[in-house]
Structure 1
């Protein structure tokens, strides 16, 4: 009887742990849009659109997709994903007023990079949705020579749009490596067609 109890307890704990590890990532769908238009809600929506595109550009990538590059001078898909992760840190740092410092790059697996990138987009969007104005946000760089601050405009035409661009590159690279983007994904509706 004791062994049955121990086995049952072990299975319950294992099940709870497995459920905790399997958290759903944001942006399988674009969240509902805000009721009002403002500068902050529009930029939040841009980040949500980016998150949705990135989610589906990276969903279901295989090892051969991650290693793929169009030519020997090109960047592999995984290097592009690493770059988008760095851009996502710049985006969220602008919304949290955190300086971007040149530090050692994080060594993360594809799954960790993907999750961290999507969570960065989500955090930035949530902060922007609650903000009154974009004037308080700046993109800040810090290095051995000092600190430089730039208006939030540069976050839009810099890391946000660069990440959109590179998400499109991932979609192209995965098609070229034989694993195309899910054709049921609608970037217009922000949903996956049935």
Structure 2
């Protein structure tokens, strides 16, 4: 178990409750789930795909990384380009880092500032709300796929992960 990577445990509760800190906590929940969904994957799971027409696990981790990068880019105004990643360990570390940095940024953000954040698509602009039902909800769905696929492949998520408390016993 790697306690050096973010989200071994979910961080303490924000001191204030506002739109930015609630969004931060949602990202924390996603980061915690991702940390444990991806902990201890083996080569067998990395290459696994439940059916031929689906992504394999590494392709799924790439997709989650892209979702994390997009949410981070929009909400932090980052100009950081995506990294050229090809290995499971790199995807895991970079995705967790992006979610951690995004959450910390949101905790410090003036909630009024959040109202002005827009996701600029190729033809139109969308308020930050679309990141919740878009990239963040999509990432939660795909983290659930990681948990399911690794179970199907014979290596279930480590025992003792409590997503309600954000701890592992």
TM > 0.5 fold call? yes
SS at match of 2:44: helix
Cα distance in 2 for residues equivalent to 1:154 and 1:99: 20
Alignment of 1:113-132 (within 5 A): 113-132=91-110
Match of 1:170 among 117, 124, 146: 146
- What's the counterpart of residue 156 of structure 2? 180
- What's the counterpart of residue 73 of structure 2? 93
Cα distance in 1 for residues equivalent to 2:44 and 2:103: 32
Structure 2 gap ranges (5+) = none
- What's the counterpart of residue 160 of structure 1? 136
- What's the counterpart of residue 127 of structure 2? 151
Q: 2:13 aligned with 1:37, yes or no?
A: no
- What's the counterpart of residue 83 of structure 1? 63
Name the Cα RMSD after superposition: 2.1
SS at match of 1:94: helix
Ranges of 4+ aligned residues in structure 1 off by more than 4 Å: 98-101
Give the paired residue count.
Answer: 166
Match of 1:46 among 26, 29, 46: 26
Match of 1:141 among 121, 131, 136: 121
Q: 2:41 aligned with 1:61, yes or no?
A: yes
Query: 1:132 Cα deviation (Å)?
Result: 1.1
1:97 and 1:138 in contact (8 A); partners too? no
Larger Rg: 1
**Relative contact order higher in (CA < 8 Å, ≥ 6 apart):** 2
Query: 1:100 Cα deviation (Å)?
Result: 9.9
* CA deviation vs aligned residue, 1:121-167 (integer Å, no higher than 9, x gap): 0111011101112213222235xxxx642100011100001000000
1:97 and 1:139 in contact (8 A); partners too? no
Cα distance in 1 for residues equivalent to 2:13 and 2:119: 25
